[in-house]
Amino acid sequence: MKAKLLNMLPYLIVLVVDFYLLPVAAQNTGAAMLLMLCVMPLVAIVTGVAYGLRSGFSLLLSLMALILFIPTIFIYYNASAWVYAPFYAVIVLVGNGIGRAFYMKR
């Protein structure tokens, strides 16, 4: 398990940057919505695909995305942002599944 988390660390760092540093760039509501609905999911799905291509499928990556997003609700958003936590977890899961499809063909 420890080796799996260590292997996952670079992808988790990308998700941390996605969830914690990108919202700082939002200067108004329009920019925040663009980030939350376009940029952040794009980074999440690309991260999932990249992990799937290199390491195969892992539900743990999706679970970690969920866990990493939850504190941002209290830091940057309000209670209405709870729906984004499972949304980003599913996005990472889908990306991971896509990456895994190509991992099998190696």
- Give 19-71 pLDDT, tens digit per residue: 999 999 888 888 888 988 899 999 999 999 999 999 999 999 999 999 999 99
Both tokens of 39, joined, read 């940029």
Instruction: Identify the burial level of 75 via C-beta atoms within 10 angstroms of its C-beta, where 0-12 means exposed, 13-18 middle and 19 or more buried.
Output: exposed
Measured CA angle at 77 (ends 48, 8), to 5 deg: 25
Residue 27 CA to residue 1 CA, distance in Å, equals: 40
pTM attached to this predicted model: 0.90
Helix (H, G, I), strand (E, B) or coil at 106: coil
DSSP-based three-state secondary structure for 104: coil
